[in-house]
Chains A and B, each alone.
Chain A
Amino acid sequence: EAQVTQNPRYLITVTGKKLTVTCSQNMNHEYMSWYRQDPGLGLRQIYYSMNVEVTDKGDVPEGYKVSRKEKRNFPLILESPSPNQTSLYFCASSLNGAEAFFGQGTRLTVV
């Protein structure tokens, strides 16, 4: 089954404790992207990747890192999480401009 898998689905953590949200897709898509969604603000892009070893900042990259060592994986790293990073996060992949497939989302709370 074609899918994008994010883990964990829910996470509560404390300020400053490094965390990684994993994202994996099984469709051999070149393009992957991370978004955060906050009430009233819609989906805001954090980082995106056009292919392996190619990543670029989106609209709200501050406080986040990503890597793309393999085509299927695109982890999102928060080196030192802060409460303003409490949000709903989505990973997505697509085949160069075609339909985007989303993971089920990760609800992150930073206290």
Chain B
Amino acid sequence: RKEVEQDPGPFNVPEGATVAFNCTYSNSASQSFFWYRQDCRKEPKLLMSVYSSGNEDGRFTAQLNRASQYISLLIRDSKLSDSATYLCVVNEDYDMRFGAGTRLTVKP
């Protein structure tokens, strides 16, 4: 089965910093892409979908590069509450494939 790989992290950044995560996927036929957020030992929750044209939601920007088969997540003006693990998710033939996650810690 195909792989979804993420930056290993962890990322430790000060409040207000800009941080970017990347994720690569190996199945060129993948249909849809997402970023999920997971707080410590809780269930993952959808952060945002990733569209071909790129999309933005407040301080968060997601981009997709189909030619290079990677997606990215940019967080601007980091807040303490952004501390979490961020999971890259790729949909392959309606089967959801998860990256291992990148842990972000935002410090005062």
Contacts and interface: CB of A to CB of B under 8 A. Distances in A.
Contact of B87 (A42, A48, A50, A98): A42
Interface of B: 1, 31-32, 34, 36, 41-46, 49, 87, 89, 91, 94-101
Contacts, number: 55
Given A48-B95, A50-B94, A92-B96, A99 B42 contact: no
A90 B31 contact: no
A99 B34 contact: yes
Contacts of A98: 32
* 9 closest cross-chain pairs (CB), A and B: A42-B100, A102-B43, A43-B98, A97-B91, A96-B94, A97-B94, A99-B46, A42-B101, A97-B32
- For the complex, would chain A's binding face be called helix, strand, loop or mixed by DSSP majority? strand
Interface of A: 30-31, 33, 35, 40-43, 45, 48, 50, 59, 88, 90, 92, 94, 96-100, 102-105
